[in-house]
């Protein structure tokens, strides 16, 4: 059963989209054995305001039994490695700063050997709003100013963009097609009533198929070659058992070069984009101290909307991990600035608006932390996000007209160079 406490502890979850789909497409059981037509529920103009309905769904889901998982300890979780893979393919995002210092020095040295300064690109979550990031990156390339990034990180929809952004402009056409030629059925299929009693509301088999088609052995070989040059591709998932973010070194996985590595690479992509409740969680077979068990991973956005630097680096800004003259680019696939709206005084609109604010505040906090770090270390700060001037009436999730309009908007902003902010639009 979904507990209200859990929703407050994980404000970055993209529950509102799930609620929107439920209202549009299914009939639910408000109590075991009683049917009610969802289409007759009151209409709420802001889809985020429907979030509170999930509490009711959680009560219904409590009527069904979930499959048992083997138990394992917190100590085992801390030491765990993925079965069939080396132990250095991932790390905890909240690890001590010493864990990151050696790797940071290697990145800086490799960049200097290439005659480059350190350039970090962080791509946020945002579901279908990822069309903005795809368009912006391609417009940036058209302007001829997009650099080769030392590090590319991605969360959720940003994780799907990240491999192409990492490999460079030769993959821009594939990036465009991924966000302009798809529809909802290319990503997931609604389970209808059965979704309320299973691991997720939707079946993301179409997304898995798309990832399998796009993530080929050839793609991994290209990523491994860039990894060997000292560049890094990092994707994030949330380990729900541990309530911690995991950062995966995708270039290291690609470097392994085995069929198992290809499987794990694809699973990480799926897990990072597995919106909790909407898509099924992803199980990773792990081992520690001779014991095997499964870890439950979901969207990295459940812990952080965008990953620029590890928390330990934020708390030790003078650690020397990012040298002077480096640049950090943040692409937020969402509207970041506060949006005024007079909220109706009713339980569901108030709760939905509150959760929407929490999600936005999570992204804003990381932006402010990153900006503060760059000021203290003489590092360039560049931020882009969906502006208030983009006002296109969205239909269903992954509505193709909306995706193309948002992609074109991002393309214009990227090519003009006017989409960058060198300080946050708030908190100053």
Q: List the domains of the chain with CATH numbers.
A: 80-416 (3.40.1090.10)
pLDDT digits (tens, 9 = 90+) for 354-376: 877 877 888 999 999 999 999 99
Single out the catalytic residue among 20, 128, 299, 326.
299
Confidence of residue 428 (pLDDT cuts 50, 70, 90): low
pLDDT at 193: 53
Of 1-10, 32-41, 63-72, 135-144, the least confident = 1-10
| Model pLDDT, residue 423 | 94
99 close to 91: Cβ distance less than 8 angstroms: yes
pLDDT of 297 higher than 60: yes
Are the CB atoms for 179 and 411 separated by under 8 Å? no
117 catalytically annotated: no
Q: Is the confidence at residue 49, as pLDDT, over 70? A: no
Adjacent-strand bridge partners of 293:
286
Lowest mean pLDDT, pick from 48-57, 127-136, 286-295, 385-394: 48-57
pLDDT of residue 380: 97
328: nearest Cα among 137, 126, 118: 118
**Catalytic entry in 49, 124, 153, 156:** 156
Catalytic annotation present for 156? yes
Task: Report residue 363 as tokens.
Answer: 């992204």
Over 80: is that where the pLDDT of 13 sits? no
pLDDT of residue 48: 42
Q: Is the pLDDT of residue 5 over 50?
A: no
Q: Which residue has the higher pLDDT, 22 or 217?
A: 217
pTM to 2 decimals? 0.84
Task: Please give the pLDDT value at position 156.
Answer: 93
Band of pLDDT at residue 41, cut at 50, 70 and 90: very low
- Mean pLDDT, the chain, whole residue set: 84
Tokens describing residue 332: 């937020």
Q: In the structure, what pLDDT confidence band is assigned to residue 39 with cuts at 50, 70 and 90?
A: very low
CA distance 10 to 300: 11
Helix and strand counts by DSSP (H, E) for the chain:
15, 14
Q: Is the separation of the CB atoms in 107 and 150 below 8 Å?
A: yes
> Taking residues 389-410, what's their average pLDDT?
91
Helix (H) or strand (E) segment spanning residue 220: helix 217-228
- Calculate mean pLDDT across residues 175-189: 89
- Section 40-60 average pLDDT: 41
pLDDT digits (tens, 9 = 90+) for 125-158: 988 999 999 999 999 999 999 999 999 999 999 9
């Amino acid at each position: 059963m979904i507990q209200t406490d859990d929703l407050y502890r994980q404000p970055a979850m993209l529950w509102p989209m799930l609620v929107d789909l439920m209202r549009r497409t299914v009939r639910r059981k408000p109590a075991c054995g009683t049917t009610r037509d969802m289409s007759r529920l009151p209409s709420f103009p802001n889809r985020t305001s429907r979030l509170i309905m999930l509490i009711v769904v959680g009560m219904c889901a409590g009527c069904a039994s979930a499959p048992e998982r083997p138990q394992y300890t917190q100590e085992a979780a801390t030491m765990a490695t993925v079965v069939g893979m080396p132990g250095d393919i991932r790390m905890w995002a909240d690890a001590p700063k010493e864990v990151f210092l050696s790797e940071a020095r290697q990145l800086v040295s490799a960049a200097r050997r290439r005659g480059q300064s350190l350039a970090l690109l962080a791509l946020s979550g945002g579901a279908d709003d990822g069309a903005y990031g795809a368009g912006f990156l391609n417009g940036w390339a058209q302007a001829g100013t997009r650099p080769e990034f030392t590090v590319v990180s991605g969360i959720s929809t940003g994780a799907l963009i990240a491999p192409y952004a990492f490999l460079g402009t030769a993959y821009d056409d594939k990036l465009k097609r991924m966000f302009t030629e798809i529809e909802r059925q290319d990503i997931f299929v609604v389970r209808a009533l059965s979704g309320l009693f299973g691991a997720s509301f939707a079946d993301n088999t179409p997304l898995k198929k798309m990832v399998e088609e796009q993530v080929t052995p050839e793609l991994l070989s290209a990523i491994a070659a860039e990894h060997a040059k000292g560049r890094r591709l990092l994707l994030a998932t949330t380990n729900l058992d541990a309530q911690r973010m995991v950062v995966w070194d995708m270039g290291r996985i690609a470097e392994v070069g085995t069929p198992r590595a290809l499987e794990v690479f694809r699973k990480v992509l799926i897990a990072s984009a597995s919106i909790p409740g909407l898509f099924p969680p992803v199980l990773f077979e792990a081992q520690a101290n001779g014991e095997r068990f499964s870890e439950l991973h979901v969207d990295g956005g459940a812990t952080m909307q965008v990953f620029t630097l590890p928390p330990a680096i934020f708390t030790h800004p003078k650690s020397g991990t990012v040298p002077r003259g480096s640049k950090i680019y943040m692409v937020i696939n969402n509207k970041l600035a506060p949006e005024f709206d007079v909220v109706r005084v009713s339980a569901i609109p108030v709760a939905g608006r509150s959760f929407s604010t929490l999600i936005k505040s999570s992204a804003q906090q990381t932006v402010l932390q990153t900006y503060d770090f760059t000021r203290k270390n003489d590092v360039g700060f560049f931020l882009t996000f969906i502006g208030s001037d983009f006002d296109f009436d969205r239909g269903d999730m992954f509505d193709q007209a909306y995706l193309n309009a948002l992609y074109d908007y991002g393309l214009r902003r990227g090519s003009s160079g006017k989409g960058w902010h060198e300080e946050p639009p708030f908190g100053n």
